[in-house]
Chain A
Amino acid sequence: MASNKKYWKSVEELKENSSIVDTLKNNEFVEEIPTDEFLGNKESLETSSTTRRDFLKYVGFTTAAASLASCEGPLVKSIPYIIKPNDITPGVAEYYATTMADGFDFANILVKVREGRPIKIEPNKEANGSTNARVQASVLSLYDSLRLKEPKANGKAISWVDADSQIISKLNEVKEAGLSIAVLTGTCASPSTKKLINNLNDTYGNVNHVVYDAVSESAALDAFETMYGTRVLPDYHLEKAEVIVSIGADFLGDWQGGGFEVGYSKGRVPQNGKMSRHIQIESNMTLTGANADKRLMVKPSEQLKALARLYATLTGGAVTMEVTPLTETVSNAAKQLIAAGSKAVVVTGIQNKNAQLLALAINKVLNSEVIDVVATKNVRKGSDASVAKLISDMNNGAIGAVIINNSNPVYSLPNSAEFVEGLKKVKLSVAFSIQDNETANAVQYTLASPHYLESWGDVVIKKGQYSLIQPTISPLFNTRQFQEALLTWTGNTSSYYDFLKESWDTEILNGTSWNQALHDGIFIVESNEEISSLEVDINAVLGALKVESSDFELALYTKTGMGDGQMANNPWLQEFPDPITRTSWDNYLTISKADAEKLGVTNYHVANGALNGSLVEMTVNGVSGVLPILIQPGQAKGSLGLALGYGRKQGLKQEMQTGINGYRFYKDFNNFQSNVTLKVVAGEHEFACVQLQNTLMGRGDIIKETTIEDYNNVDSKEWNKVPMVSLDHNEVEATTVDLWDSFDRSIGHHFNLSIDLNACTGCGACVIACHAENNVPVVGKEEIRKSRDMHWLRIDRYYSHEEDFAGDNELKDNGKGALGFKIAMDALEHPSENPSVAFQPVMCQHCNHAPCETVCPVAATSHGRQGQNQMAYNRCIGTRYCANNCPYKVRRFNWFNYPNNSEFDYNMNDDLGKMVLNPDVVVRSRGVMEKCSMCIQMTQAAILKAKKEGRPVNTNEFETACSNACSTGAMVFGDINHKEDTVTSLVEDKRAYHLLEHVGTKPNVVYHVKVRNTQEA
């Protein structure tokens, strides 16, 4: 009975008489055709000299003229290479292994290259690579038309030779003056670059390398250094964990560089009746909190207390800090941690060295196997102290030259004004930058750098794992790498490639082939090092913990889509809806419902379903700004959330200049800010929020979930119920009833996609992968507000009552009649303060008995024998009957011609941005329906490859863009007529079910019931 819960997507749905929800239930397309615009104005109609007959004549003439004009085909040129490169065959994709390392995201990837153009990023699975939404989208940033295209000196173009000679002479001046040279970079995990910076020090002396992360993990690094002697980050093998307690750590997001979802999901899929237990204590609703079994909302200041108390409880020490609302839960968590022993882990995201030390100490007390202090990670290196020192040194004249690479401090520093002042005082300021950003415009020499897909390089993401970066396209612009410049400035005439190869050959490869390493993208050096911890006085640490609290506290975070804001000019990421708030193109202040009511601020839906919100003026430590508010279920009372990475202006297209710069409030790089005051101001803000769009039309049971107890002890028919329908006045299982005769699908391929709701963390890498693979257009904020988003694959986020299932059921069952319903809904609204969350990726379900196919008047959508529901765009006349008849609301209508349309000034509107388009998939035009094709171009390519090689298709060879991008293994694609394919057994699993089984559509996408570990200790 467990899965019979009431789900909702938006607080609006819980209201009793929401006219918006009612309207949306009945209307697939919220916007009517705007006939009023041209028929409504009576006056202009009457004064018009065009009569109806004239109008018809014009129409007739233009139609005839258009059809006559279309008789002549355009002249198409075909320009071959003059000398064809040996390894390129036009029309055949090549894959290159490389590594993304932009200072924020680090990933071993494969790059799909067509005719010399990188068009897609895939995880390099042989190198254990995994990708998130930003890594997937980074290929589009290569084709950013506003990139820096040439070197500049004080805003004027300059040649590289001139720039070099001027910079070298200035560096020598600085050297003679005895001043120091600062090299300011983002996290740089490249051994060869470090060597080059050392060479710079040898040449000019007094070179100081300052590492600056826009989103700092300095506290964790410092804590690890204190405890273990090296300034790195530990790794966490969450697949080994039985109990995970996270205090404010969004480890499924960007916490400590991210990438933990792979291990986490392995432990979350019930195997042999076991899965990990995850307790999250946080203030904002994060992706991690959304996946937790138990989630507790506390203000940031309380998190610190909770951590201290947890330590005290575990060690049996004196409890010095009282955690007002959570005492019991913290003790309970402590019990579970002790029970799990070495299979437990505690992580924290509080940017406080003492808090981080406490977490490390707890893991030491637990003797945790989960934390790995040997194979450490290099993905964050920034030091808050040295950045602060640099700024003061710049201002007091101790610094002669500043060389900035891959960093935008003028935008992202909370005290950027001081930094800009300092820049004016140095003799030489140089910035290497890909983008024409704030920092590039504040320095003397702006040196255009290539994108990582145009560069050479190396990076050590994790100790002993050496990755290579290789170019996959020749540089698009007149750019040069930072490393090349360092070589030139230190008088080394060899190219960076030669330098890199030589240093690898002599120091890393140890006789192994360079070509092999380059082919693999990674080279692993085994080591048996042991790390012993140093003695740290934890009591002193506890004593040093200071808790600052205030009525409102602000928690700054990074969004899964935008990250630190480097790729703000990337329309895919801007339009990517945040997994939690389902809002795109914006950042905002998240606030709890109670606080919103107290302040008198609201969110409300306007007539077409779009979301609007009130504005508040927030002041934090003297910095203030006007922000829109978004009421977020699960937000701790007294806490506020604001995403970093927005509000950039320079080097961005008009449409991308969205949101407010959160870094301004990021004082001392602390993600928790107290001393916050709010003032309601007049006006309202328009959000591009998709949470109310495509509602379920009142059809429930789209998500099924159960508890681990039921999963283990109760028959699957109880918790994975097949809906019953009436046949000949008997109740029978819906799956047994069929209107149609089925075809024999046992011969050939039959594709199925399996989605495990337990493994899916909602990260959205699949959404961007689908964008890239299928040329899905970006529609912009205004269109999103009108429910016209084009995402073929969306990740629905459902909230439900947190506590237990039985209570929910009772409420729902008793909720009969108008009054009963009101009571039920009121009751359900209460837990909306802290709901439990489920994510469900939904794309075309490729129904074997598809309702869309039967209503198409022109047979534009039909069924293939391989299980794919096919869409012939050239046949579609845009009646939209199919979308109306689709129970899953996965069809998307092209309201406009998105390519070559200045109204939609995104990547498809400029020549550079178009280079990312997949040549194997057509770009759809206006007036046609489109939807997920189950990547038929990929399945067909796999079949053709097998045919050409004269062999059957290999096991698990079939893939779709989403299944390929899914790092957690939640999405598995394959051929169910091929018994060895993984998907074949998944489809038979006892957790497997189809969406809305009672409709009888027999989909080829299969879901797995979400299991929650509700076992308390």
Chain B
Amino acid sequence: MKSVKQHSQMSRLIVGSLALILFFSINLVAQEGNPVNGEKLFKSTCAACHKLEGKLLGPALKGITEIREQKWLISWIKDSPGMIKSGDKLAIQVFEENNKLPMIANPQLSDQDIIDILAYTKGEPAPVKEVSSVQENDVANGEKLFKSTCAACHKLEGKLLGPALKGITEKREKDWLISWIKDSPALIKSGDKLANEVFKENFMLPMPPNAHLSDKDITDILAYTSGEKAAAAGDVVSQEVDPAVKNGEQIFKTNCAACHKLEGKLIGPELYKIGDKRDPEWLKAWILDNNALVASGDKLAKEVADSTPLVMTPFPHLSDQDLDDLLKYLAVGDVKEVVALTATSKDEEIFNEPGFGVLPTLALTILAFILLSLIIAATTNKKVEEGEEATGSMLKSIIFNPFVRFLLIIFLLLGGTWFLFGWLMQIDVNEGYQPIQPIAFSHAVHAGDNKIDCQYCHSSAKNSKTSGIPSVNVCMNCHKTISEYKGELFDGHSKENLDKEIQKIYDAVGWDKNEMKYIEDYEQKPVEWVRVHNLADFVYYNHSQHVTVAGLDCKTCHGPVETMHEMKQFSPLTMSWCIDCHRTTQVDLTQNGYYKNIHDQLANKYGVEKVTAAQMGGLECAKCHY
């Protein structure tokens, strides 16, 4: 027993430090930016107007990080018009240097995305494809490992001892899963919220740690659980795709997609089968330099140019071949990959012996039983000796034993009180409250898939006591151009369904999605959202205090919003929950000028660097109740 215990402690230590190293290494990568992803993003987002070397519409971007600060660049890329408006000096200078051509705002890019793009602009070579090799999951290996390690307690579909694991990667974050699988008891002990929740949900059955699994192994297992089939099992049967069309698609995506869609109007007109409408030679000339074409006195060009106040960017860098390919692509449209599947894998479950996680529970139960028997024996034996009771009626003697009855009554009373107390305490605690909203808005799609920053929409969180439900005009910043849902379907919604949900925004504000303009004299109707987080009137809570001053992440209280399609209340929002956090949170007195004097005084008096929010007076009644 002793050695086992030591081993488990050792393994915890190792796993813990491994997890720590892993965490930091991930962070490190995140900080530095991934040029591979950056390249992809650059081509889809920036290349319409920028080249790495040489001026296009915008300036050359190679080495831009050496000229400008990263922070400034991030804000600039996200919302350059906003910056210019806000009066940022540098922004205005750049704007003027570039002939006052406005740069399109890119609110859809997350900070990380931009860092990636910036990493790419450094012109560094893409790192050796190690990272991606890790990502290529060896599903076969995963299956093997699953069967040998996990199948004792888990099935892919349906609950066994542990929960069903199919699609677990969609529910939880990968990093969390890795730490959990490696050493779940340590994770629970560390106070991780989610871990504790999972633990409770599963009747507090502990899951044995799997220190022997490497990260790669776990990734493989997860790949298997996501329902992917081993690569060998299926074949991609693709159509014969003309390489010219493929090249055309590439050109379209890098140069045109910022303003055009194949189908439907964006900033410019739709381009699918444009060749049927216009002469290819004219088109080529137009694309190369539409200004020159207009200037040359071409009648059609003038007509087209006059039809809209917007001016199309010239693309003189495209070769004739490129243009041909592009036109071909525009004639053909998107080529859909058809995947033919051949079902091969055996959905067979293998039962191994039960995992030893159940053993301690069993041992405890047995121990308790033995203890109880001993007590009974101790109290009944006496009577047996005295001969008052006939032997053989052990059960009867247990029932009639006054001590047992006493114990039972005490137990029932205490238990009853405990349950009553527990029941009363949960009144008006609305953890998990998930009302149906008037619009099937998905945080998972917006914050998760599209990585929109929380405060892009909830912008008053940094300034005000309320986080602010975004007004419809904020929705319209993006939804002017996004009128249909193209992502993965969720919650049983059909695409048609979700498009109708987007339409609700237009109905509220009065936007004609076909004409791409606001309807005049439209009677606007507000969207009546249902409030999820309701604090009592006698509680004063200020978002800006927590977001701006304390620098808390939204997720700390609101949970993994990026995984919630329908928003729900993640935290209990009880006073004990607030207080617990105030008790443990340390206030960094060194970074904020407000604490300057207070910090010196405290440091002098107690010789401390950091104090908790509670020690600063964060537990006083009237700090939150007035």
Given A79-B529, A80-B470, A84-B473, the answer on whether A952 and B594 have CB atoms closer than 8 Å is yes
Instruction: Give the shortest distance, in Å, between A115 (CB) and chain B (any CB).
Output: 10
Would you call B527 and A80 a contact (CB within 8 A)?
yes
Give the size range of A's interface with the partner: 35 or more
Would you call A874 and B538 a contact (CB within 8 A)?
yes
Given A90-B468, A92-B464, the answer on whether A870 and B620 have CB atoms closer than 8 Å is yes
A923-942 Cβ-contact flags toward B at 8 Å (1 or 0): 10000000001001100100
Would you call A746 and B601 a contact (CB within 8 A)?
yes
B602 within 8 A of A: yes
Which chain A residue lies CB-closest to B470?
A80
Complex interface: stretch among A170-178, A594-602, A646-654, A861-869: A861-869
Would you call A76 and B509 a contact (CB within 8 A)?
no
B585 within 8 A of A: no
* Interface SS of A by simple majority: loop
Contacts of A920 in B (CB 8 A): 465, 540, 626
B597 within 8 A of A: yes
Contact of A748 among B435, B474, B617 (CB under 8 A): B617
Would you call A90 and B621 a contact (CB within 8 A)?
no
Given A79-B529, A950-B593, the answer on whether A937 and B428 have CB atoms closer than 8 Å is no
Contacts of A949 in B (CB 8 A): 593
Complex interface: stretch among A43-51, A67-75, A705-713: A67-75
Would you call B623 and A91 a contact (CB within 8 A)?
no
Would you call A874 and B625 a contact (CB within 8 A)?
yes
Would you call A78 and B469 a contact (CB within 8 A)?
yes
Would you call A936 and B597 a contact (CB within 8 A)?
no
Would you call B529 and A78 a contact (CB within 8 A)?
yes
Instruction: Give the shortest distance, in Å, between B460 (CB) and chain A (any CB).
Output: 5
Would you call A747 and B545 a contact (CB within 8 A)?
no
Would you call A73 and B430 a contact (CB within 8 A)?
yes
Would you call B468 and A865 a contact (CB within 8 A)?
no
Q: How many residues of B contact A (CB 8 A)?
A: 55
Instruction: Give the shortest distance, in Å, between B350 (CB) and chain A (any CB).
Output: 47
- CA A70 to CA B597, docked complex, whole Å: 47
B537 within 8 A of A: yes
Contacts of A746 in B (CB 8 A): 601
- CA A104 to CA B623, docked complex, whole Å: 41
Instruction: Give the shortest distance, in Å, between A858 (CB) and chain B (any CB).
Output: 11
Would you call A77 and B529 a contact (CB within 8 A)?
yes
Contact of A953 among B529, B530, B592, B594 (CB under 8 A): B594
A729 within 8 A of B: no
A727 within 8 A of B: no
B544 within 8 A of A: yes
A921 within 8 A of B: yes
A864-897 Cβ-contact flags toward B at 8 Å (1 or 0): 1110101111110000000000000000000000
A326 within 8 A of B: no
A593-624 Cβ-contact flags toward B at 8 Å (1 or 0): 00000000000000000000000000000000
Given A82-B473, A91-B464, A92-B460, the answer on whether A944 and B542 have CB atoms closer than 8 Å is yes
Would you call A875 and B594 a contact (CB within 8 A)?
no
A-B contact count (CB 8 A): 159
Would you call A951 and B626 a contact (CB within 8 A)?
no
Contacts of B529 in A (CB 8 A): 77-80
Contact of A82 among B471, B549, B592, B605 (CB under 8 A): B471
Would you call A947 and B594 a contact (CB within 8 A)?
yes
Instruction: Give the shortest distance, in Å, between A13 (CB) and chain B (any CB).
Output: 36
A682 within 8 A of B: no
Which B residues, 572 to 626, have Cβ-Cβ distances below 8 Å to chain A? 592-594, 596-598, 601-602, 605, 616-617, 620-623, 625-626
Would you call A873 and B508 a contact (CB within 8 A)?
no
- CA A89 to CA B620, docked complex, whole Å: 28
Contacts of A870 in B (CB 8 A): 620-622, 625-626
Instruction: Give the shortest distance, in Å, between B149 (CB) and chain A (any CB).
Output: 44
- CA A864 to CA B620, docked complex, whole Å: 6
A536 within 8 A of B: no
B2 within 8 A of A: no
Given A80-B470, A80-B529, the answer on whether A70 and B549 have CB atoms closer than 8 Å is no
Which A residues, 34 to 79, have Cβ-Cβ distances below 8 Å to chain B? 67, 70-71, 73, 75-79
Would you call A81 and B471 a contact (CB within 8 A)?
yes
Would you call B594 and A950 a contact (CB within 8 A)?
yes
Contacts of B597 in A (CB 8 A): 952
- CA A92 to CA B464, docked complex, whole Å: 6
B154-180 Cβ-contact flags toward A at 8 Å (1 or 0): 000000000000000000000000000
Contacts of B428 in A (CB 8 A): 70-71, 73
Would you call A950 and B470 a contact (CB within 8 A)?
no
- CA A748 to CA B598, docked complex, whole Å: 6
Would you call B620 and A951 a contact (CB within 8 A)?
no
Contacts of B621 in A (CB 8 A): 860, 862, 864, 870-872, 875
Instruction: Give the shortest distance, in Å, between B609 (CB) and chain A (any CB).
Output: 15
Instruction: Give the shortest distance, in Å, between A850 (CB) and chain B (any CB).
Output: 13
B352 within 8 A of A: no
Contacts of B548 in A (CB 8 A): 947-948
Instruction: Give the shortest distance, in Å, between A42 (CB) and chain B (any CB).
Output: 40
Would you call A943 and B594 a contact (CB within 8 A)?
yes
Given A82-B471, A948-B549, the answer on whether A90 and B466 have CB atoms closer than 8 Å is yes
Would you call A872 and B625 a contact (CB within 8 A)?
yes
B343-384 Cβ-contact flags toward A at 8 Å (1 or 0): 000000000000000000000000000000000000000000
A946 within 8 A of B: yes
Contact of B622 among A78, A81, A864, A946 (CB under 8 A): A864
Contacts of A950 in B (CB 8 A): 592-594
Which B residues, 422 to 475, have Cβ-Cβ distances below 8 Å to chain A? 427-428, 430, 433, 435, 460, 463-466, 468-474
A741-756 Cβ-contact flags toward B at 8 Å (1 or 0): 0001011100000000
Contacts of A868 in B (CB 8 A): 622
B534 within 8 A of A: yes
Would you call B534 and A73 a contact (CB within 8 A)?
yes
B494 within 8 A of A: no
Contact of A77 among B430, B524, B530 (CB under 8 A): B530
- CA A747 to CA B597, docked complex, whole Å: 9
Contacts of A89 in B (CB 8 A): 460, 463-464, 468
- CA A82 to CA B626, docked complex, whole Å: 31
Instruction: Give the shortest distance, in Å, between A448 (CB) and chain B (any CB).
Output: 25
Contact of B528 among A79, A84, A944, A948 (CB under 8 A): A79
Contact of B527 among A71, A79, A873, A933 (CB under 8 A): A79
Would you call B530 and A78 a contact (CB within 8 A)?
yes
Which B residues, 518 to 575, have Cβ-Cβ distances below 8 Å to chain A? 524-531, 534, 536-538, 540, 542-545, 548-549
Would you call B471 and A83 a contact (CB within 8 A)?
yes
Which chain A residue lies CB-closest to B547?
A948
- CA A129 to CA B387, docked complex, whole Å: 101
Which chain A residue lies CB-closest to B615?
A865
Would you call B593 and A80 a contact (CB within 8 A)?
no
- CA A100 to CA B433, docked complex, whole Å: 48
A531 within 8 A of B: no
Instruction: Give the shortest distance, in Å, between A75 (CB) and chain B (any CB).
Output: 6
Contacts of B469 in A (CB 8 A): 78-80
Which chain B residue lies CB-closest to A75?
B530
Contacts of A78 in B (CB 8 A): 469, 528-531
Report the 9 A-B pairs with minimum CB-CB distance, sorted nearest first: A870-B622, A91-B464, A84-B471, A872-B621, A81-B471, A76-B531, A950-B593, A80-B469, A91-B465
* A-B CB contact pairs (8 Å), 10 listed: A67-B427, A73-B433, A73-B534, A79-B528, A82-B509, A90-B464, A870-B622, A870-B626, A874-B538, A922-B537
* New A-B contacts (14) at CB < 8 Å, excluding given A78-B529, A871-B622, A874-B538: A67-B427, A79-B526, A89-B463, A748-B598, A862-B620, A864-B620, A937-B540, A940-B540, A943-B594, A944-B542, A947-B545, A947-B592, A948-B544, A953-B594
